[in-house]
Every structure is written in structure tokens, then in C-alpha cells.
Structure 1
Amino acid sequence: MNHHISAGTSYDECQPLGSDNAKLEPLLRKGHTKSRRGCHSCKRRRVKCPENRPACTQCTRRRLKCEWPELYISQAEEVIVKKSPTIPRQIELLPPVFKMQDFRLFHHFINDAYPIEPIGNESIWTHEIPSIAHNYNYLLHAMLALSASDIEASSNEHSLELAQSAIFHRILAIKYFNRALSARLHTFEERNAILATCFILLYQSKLIDEGLSEYLTFVRGCVLIPLQMTSKDLKLLFQNLLSDEGIEKTRPYLQDLQAVDLKSMDAAYASLEGLRPLCEREVEKRMHERLLDLVRCFYLSSCDGYIAWLKGSVFFSCHITHAEFLALIDPSNVAGQLLLSHLVAVQTLISPIKPMERAGRKNSHFINGMARWLEVAHAKVDPSMRGYFEWPIKRAEEVRQWFKYEKALAT
């Protein structure tokens, strides 16, 4: 192995092992016990290595590069761990993950970034969920991810540090989330942690440019997980979940919703009618009819329309198979992409009237995120099909203008 020798190293120290100096050296030095775990440099020089790491005293004094055999390094780590019986090995060798900024993110989640859905669960999000987060790494990372995205999206300037933090925590949250799902969920607390994580990742998806497919995937999870839990008579922390019965219980929260712009609903209905000839698969026809029913309900009242919109979430989970869901979100399925774009565009009409459980809390950056989904989809759709996309992209432009106005008011 080649070793780096600095300019300050003496001539004698650089002599080859076969030189006369090397032959005389054993006769001139005192005897010692063998060093069996010494560094490479000391072994080449045939001197006893003090074995202090990361650079031994011999190499440090002579300004030599101190390198160790990998086998000995791993053995040394085992010795260190055995000498510290009170510290588990996985903790001893695990690098720190959380930074000081993460404490700010945790605080922001509790105060401003927690999901407003399921409706009527504010105390669950601000008390129960934070109190169990330290037990579940996927839940804690999801909370920090949404909080970072929320701060970054609602601020006037782009923050690379926050954007990187949001992605970093999201990747870890999904990694641990999938691992937890593949294992058996035993406890009441653990299952509720899984459900909370699903809702949090769903909300963060709205702030990711190409997050529509992930958003719809987590919508399925937010319905299927509670159904699995209730089928086994397991209790839930959250109330008014996305089942037909739970959704109907939200009506008292929805009585004072402001009216939706009916002219915009007229435009949505006309654009959806134009998609009818493109819907050939059974799942496309069913989704198309769902969207038309949704728009019709808003002509009755905002409350009826909002209830219909919530029940539409159940459609993606309980009324279509997994294979049908994958076919619907497939980027090569033009009809599916157009239907999903209309779904998002209608949702941007609904979002401003959503009941806000905390006075003064803004959700304009979430709506702006969904407008970016429409722009991404429009850029990818075949130019010959963009005539069907006229209303969704117009709606995206309206949202952009509204978002700029909201930010101007905030400043």
C-alpha cells in the first residue's frame, strides 16, 4: 500500500525495508510485546504501534498517513460497544438525524401545518399525535416534512434549505411507513400513527409539483386503513373519517360555507361533458359520472357539494380495484389524465370554501400547489388533445393570479 509522506519526514524514516538501517534497527531498539492490531505504517517500519486511533502517536509524530486494516477497525468497534453495555449498539453507531431546525419544524406543525382533515379533529392533531410521534419515526419524519414544505411554500422567497429538508424527511417517512405497513400492526397507538402519517403525507403531496399520483395513493390509504381497523373492532383517535357514515357526520361543520362561483361550475360541467366520448373504459365512465354528480351537488348548496367531494375520495379506495386505480393514474392514459385534471381543477374551486378550524389559517399555497399539477399535466398531454384541457389550464391561471393577490395582501 502506498503511503503519503510529508515534506517534513526525515531521510532515515523513508528508507526501504531492505536497507541497512532497517536491518540494524531491531538490534538498537528495546524489546517489546508484539502489536497485533497496529496500523500499516508502524508494521512497515517494524515498530510497536500504540494503537490509538484515528492516528497513532508514532504516525502523528512523524507526520505519516495512519491507515488501519478494515478487519481491525470492525473488531475495535465491537470492543468499544462491549465496553459500553448500557448503550445499545444500534444507538452507539447511529449518526444523529435531527437538527436544531427540526425543533422549529415540529413547533410549526403543531401551530400551523397540521392537516385540517378529517374535519373536527383539531385537538387530535395538536395534542395526541405530537405526544406519540417520538415512538414512530415515520410519523415524526412526516410531520417535519409537511412543516418544512408548508413554511417554504407560504413564504415569499424560495429556501433551498427548507426544500431539501422537506424532501429528506419525506423520503425517510415513506421508507419507514412502507416498512411499518409490511409488518403487522399490533397496537391501537401504532395503527393511529400509521393513519396520521397517511394524512400528513397526503397533505404534503399538494405542495409537490408532480405529487398528484402520490396524493391519490394516500387518499386510498386514508380510507382503507380505517376500514381495516374498524373491521377488527380497533378504536380510532380520529372522528369523521372518510366513510359515507363518517362524512355525513361532518354536516354540522359545513352549514356556514360560502357559496361557490356558479359560473365556474358551469364551465366545469361543460368541459366534463366534452370528455364523455373519450371515456371508454368502465372505470373512466364511472369516474366521469362521479365528477358530473359532484358539480350538480354544488348547484344545491356548498354543503351538499362538499359532502359529495368528500365521498368522491371513497371512490378511489372502495369502488375501484387496485388495477383500475393504476390504469387511471397511468401517464399514458390520456382519458385518465384529463379526468384527473378536471378533478383537481374542481378541487381548486372547493378548497377556498373549506371549513378552517383555526381562525386566520391560510391554505392558498395548497391550492397553488394543485394548480402546478395542472400545469405539469398540460405540458405532458399530447398537443392534439389540449382542446379538452382548456378549462383546467384556465383554472390554473386563475389560481395563480389569486395566489399572487393573497401573498401581496400578506405583505
Structure 2
Amino acid sequence: MSRFDQEEMDDPNFWLVSGDIPSRTVSPGSGSSLDHAKPRRRPIPRKGHTKSRKGCYSCKKRKIKCQEGVPECYHCAKAGLVCVYPVTEKTLALAVPRPGLQSTPTTFTMQDLRYFHHFLVGAYPHLPVKGDDIWKNRVAQISHSYDFLMHSMLALAASHLSLFGDEDRGSAALSHRVAAINSLNASLSQPCQDGAESDARFATIMALTFQSRYIPDGMKDFLTMIRGCTVVAQTAMLPFEESSFGSFTHEGHVSTIASLIQMDIVVSLDGDGWKNAIDSLRDLRPLVQTPFEQQYLAALENALQLAKTAPIDAYTTFTMLYVSPADISHEEFLRFLEPQNTTGQLLLAHFFALEILLGPILWFELQHRNEMLSVLRQISFHWVEKMCVGLPESHQSFARWPLEYSIMWRRSLVSNKSSFIEVVDS
């Protein structure tokens, strides 16, 4: 179980992407019982203000008194934050069950239909392994009922087409991404109604996570969205094991991979790259300070050591690093991702470089989706090189291995034009 603060876990919006995506305010629907809040007592002199027990999540998180205004409180309106109130027993009693179909369906274009078709034939996430039917049947069947799900599918398909096609569809991809996030954000302010909505919420955050993996400057969003998957699974849906994605726990995923991995694949690991990576990780030891950084580095070293003799254990250890940031506080997570945090940047640069090195083991999960391998590698090259060149001169020596290894691999793909896709900042 992740170690989120309870109040942070209750707030469904803290993990959503900020970055370059414009924020939009989501407020409780009109007619809520909050519209007629009881008059508040006057504060007792020299006792400070009375505590707001019905305040919004943002004010609680910032530890300031919420004015409880609707549709948004004064502090959120002033700071440009999303204002979402806790759902009370009274509002739950007044809640009207939502129909399966939207009463005012969103209008989609013919181009959107192309994106939808492309999602089904080749752009849907490759996880869960052997989970194609989940995306092509279950998710597709319920997508018309949930705006956030449909927009996330179209966003992922547009980003996928931008990489594999002749046209830049970044504008459409971003537009659908913003719409998906805003619509999902609104949905998360209400309790989950049924299994279909559970599946829709998790499928949406999964699609947005995979879209982040296709964005050249999307590393922070990618890691944030992975964290979001944990939050949604734990706090915003019915019991996860009862959902269509119920087998997609880390244990279930590793069990599936273990049945596919063959021991003889270890011979294809880059021997020189493996030894140089071991030395480079050892050089990072004096730099790590926080318990999380120490655990992260230890896991990288352990995965690398296991790769030669126990590929399944190496896979298990390494893939846990994708979800390990869900075990730290939101503030520590943000500090870990800060570009000014040189230790965090070095750890992440080594992580994505090792993703390339351990490819013969890690990419086993792609199975028949081999066309994605080149793209995922090249996005990793881009992220590694961008982090390494952005480090101060005093830390450049610690980044030598991931930078040189990434450049070597990228050049080898450039020589094979058929498998190379140019990656540039958006």
C-alpha cells in the first residue's frame, strides 16, 4: 500500500498534469447543497479563525481557511486552482444516478473517427500483456458513455500518428489530452458509480500515461501519470480486483512475463555496456542523500546485477521503479523531479539508459507490438540526453555513461533509416 497522506489521497486532483497544459477550473455542479451553506460563527477574539470542516481540498492541502464559496472558493479563484469539495452524506443522498449515455453528447469530427479507428488497430496501450481484448472490446464498448475516456483514446491515437505518420498532429493530441484531463478531473470529484465507470477511469489514466511516453518533453508527465494510476486504482474506483484490469497488479504482470521470458535471452545483453553501467552506478553512491534516493539507486544496481543470471528477477526489480514514486509524499516526488535536483536527474538518466540496456528483457512485454520498440527507445534517448546536457559542469562526469550509451544507440538506429523516427521537442 502506498504511503500517501490520507488527505492527499482524498484529493483526486493532486497528481494531474500541470506542466504546459492550461488549467481549467472544475467546480461542483449547480444545485448542490453547498449552495446554501449555514452561516459560520464569528471567530473568538485572539483564538484565530474557526476551522473549516467543509472546505475544499486545495485549501485543506494549503492549510488555509476555505471561504466555502461556490462554484469555487475565493482562494482557489485567486490562485487559479481547481476547487473541489468533499462529497458529504447529504450530497450523496441528493445525488441522482447518471444514465449510461450522456444527455448532451460531445460532437466529434470525421478526423476524430480516424483517430478512434487508429487507436483500435494499433495505438492502444500494450499493457496489460495479453490484454488486447480489454482495449479493443471492453474499453471501446464503454467509451461513448464517458467523455474523458473517449478524449484520452483520441489523444493517444493522435500522438501515435504524429510519430508514425507524415503529419504533425500535436495540436489535436494536446487538445484531446486537455479535454480528457478536465473531464476526468470533474468525474473524480464524484464517487464512482459502477464497474463501467471504474474501468473508464483507469483506462483513461492508462491512455494518458502512454501518450506521455510519446511526448519528447513528456518525461515528468509520464512519471506523474504512473503515480496517478496508483491513486486512481486506490481511491477513485471500485475494488481494483473486480475491474476489467483486475489482473494488472504488479504481481500478476510479472507472473505473465515470467511465463514468456526464456533464460537464453541474457546472452544478447551488451557486455561492455553492462560493466560500464555497474561502474557508473557505483560512482553515484556518494551523491544520494534521501532514503528514497538510496533505495532507488540500490534497486538500479540490483536489477543490473540480476540481469546476467536471473532475468525474471531483474525484470521484477527494475519495473518496480516505475511505480516506486507512488510510495513517497507528493512534495518529495516533486523535489525528485525538479531539474535543479542533480541527483534526481542523474538517477533518472541512468534509469532510462538502463531501460535501453536491459531491452532484451524489458521489451519482452511488447510481444507482437514490435513497431513500438523503436519509438520507445528513441524517446528514452531524447530524455536521457536532455537530462545529461542540462546538468551543471560539476556533475557532467557522473552522466558520462548514460549520455554516451544513449548517443551510441541513437546513431546505430539513424544508420537504419527504416527503423528511425526523428524525435524533436514540441
TM-score for both structures, normalised by structure 2: 0.67
Residue identity matched to 2:127: E
Runs of 5+ consecutive residues of structure 2 not aligned to the other structure:
1-101, 422-426
Distance 1:152 1:245, change over 3 A: closer
Indicate whether 1:238 and 2:248 are aligned: no
2:406 maps to 1:396: yes
Q: Do the aligned partners of 1:188 and 1:234 also contact (CA within 8 Å) in 2?
A: no
Note if 1:104 corresponds to 2:111.
no
Q: How far apart are residue 342 of structure 1 and its match?
A: 0.9
Name the residue aligned to 1:143. Answer: 153
Choose from 203, 206, 215 the match for 2:213.
206
Q: What is the deviation of 1:191? A: 1.3
Query: Aligned residue for 1:304?
Result: 313
Q: CA deviation at 1:113?
A: 1.0
Distance 1:210 1:287 in 2: 23
Match of 1:320 among 322, 328, 332: 328
Task: Pick from 273, 280, 294 the counterpart of residue 285 of structure 1.
Answer: 294
- Cα deviation code 1:322-375 (max 9, x no counterpart): 232222112221111111111111112334633334365432112211211122
Residue matched to 2:384? 374
Pair 1:395–1:267, CA change in 2 (3 A): same
Residues 154 and 349 of structure 1: is their aligned pair in 2 closer, same or farther, counting only changes over 3 Å? farther
- C-alpha distance 172-350 of structure 1, shift in aligned 2 (>3 A): farther
Q: Distance in 1 between matches of 2:116 and 2:219?
A: 25
Residue in structure 2 matched with residue 74 of structure 1 by the alignment: none
Per-residue deviation at 1:283? 1.5
Query: Is the CA contact 1:251–1:303 (under 8 Å) kept in the aligned structure 2?
Result: yes
Q: Provide the rounded CA distance (Å) in 1 between the counterparts of 2:261 and 2:249.
A: 15
Alignment of 1:161-180 (within 5 A): 162-180=169-187
Cα distance in 2 for residues equivalent to 1:270 and 1:394? 14
* Equivalence for 2:227: 220
Q: Identify the residue that residue 49 of structure 1 maps to in structure 2.
A: none
TM-score (norm 1): 0.70
Distance 1:258 1:139, change over 3 A: farther
Residue deviations 1:99-148, cap 9 Å, x none? 21211111111111111112221111111111111111111111111111
Q: CA 1:334 to 1:359, structure 2 compared with 1: closer, same or farther past 3 Å?
A: closer
CA contact (8 A) 1:279 1:285 kept: yes
User: What is the distance in 2 between the residues matched to 1:336 and 1:305?
Assistant: 22
In structure 2, the CA distance between the partners of 1:125 and 1:256, relative to structure 1 (3 Å rule), is: farther
> Which of residues 339, 343, 346 is equivalent to 2:351?
343
Where do 1:19-38 residues align within 5 Å?
A: none
How far apart, CA to CA, are the structure 2 residues paired with 1:324 and 1:409?
38
Q: Comparing both structures, which one devotes a greater share of its residues to helix? A: 1
Question: In the TM superposition, what whole-angstrom CA distance separates every residue of 1:208-230 from its partner, at most 9, and x where no partner exists?
Answer: 12211111111122234334479
How far off is 1:396 after superposition? 2.4
Greater relative contact order, per chain length (Cα 8 Å cut-off, separation 6+): 2
Is the CA contact (8 Å cut-off) linking 2:257 and 2:364 kept in structure 1?
no
**What is the identity, as a one-letter code, of the residue corresponding to 2:385?**
E
> For 1:261 and 1:244, how far apart are their aligned partners in 2?
28
Which residue pairs with 2:199 in the alignment?
192
Residues 90 and 186 of structure 1: CA distance in aligned 2, closer, same or farther (over 3 Å): closer
Q: Is the partner of 2:365 in helix, strand or coil? A: coil
Whole-angstrom CA distance in 1 between matches of 2:252 and 2:304: 21
Contact kept? 2:194, 2:238, Cα under 8 Å: no
Which letter does structure 2 place at the counterpart of 1:313?
Y
Write the deviation string for residues 253-309 of structure 1: whole angstroms up to 9, x where unpaired.
333783332332222221111111110122211111111111122122433322222
Within the candidate set 326, 331, 334, 2:339 is matched to 331
**Residue 404 of structure 1 aligns to which amino acid in structure 2?**
V
Q: Alpha-carbon deviations, 1:148-205, whole Å to 9, x = none?
A: 11121124x4x23x12111111121122222222332221111111111121111111
Q: Do the aligned residues in 1 keep the contact of 2:346 with 2:388 (CA within 8 Å)?
A: no
Structure 1: tracts of 5 or more residues without a match:
1-88
1:270 maps to amino acid: D
Tell me, yes or no, if the aligned pair for 2:197 and 2:237 is still in contact at 8 Å: no
Work out the CA distance in 1 between the residues paired with 2:107 and 2:238: 37
Q: Give the residue type in structure 2 aligned to 1:388.
A: F
What corresponds to 1:261 in structure 2?
270
The 2-side partners of 1:115 and 1:134 are apart by 19
Corresponding position of 1:23 = none
Aligned-partner Cα distance in 2 for 1:101–1:233: 34
Change (3 A) 1:406 1:142: farther
Partners of 2:225 and 2:264 lie apart in 1 by 26
- Partner letter of residue 119 of structure 1? V
C-alpha displacement at 1:233, in angstroms?
A: 6.9
Question: Deviations 1:8-55 (Å, cap 9, x if unpaired)?
Answer: xxxxxxxxxxxxxxxxxxxxxxxxxxxxxxxxxxxxxxxxxxxxxxxx
Cα RMSD of the aligned pairs, angstroms, is 2.8
What's the secondary structure of 2:372's corresponding residue?
coil
Larger of the two Rg values belongs to structure: 1
Seq. identity, %: 28
Query: Structure 2 vs 1, CA of residues 285 and 244 (structure 1 numbering), >3 Å: closer, same or farther?
Result: same
Shift of 1:237: 0.5
- For residues 264 and 213 of structure 2, the distance between their equivalents in structure 1, rounded to whole angstroms, comes to 22
| Paired amino acid for 1:340 | L
Change in CA separation of 1:316 and 1:97 when aligned onto 2, cut-off 3 Å: same
Aligned residues: 317
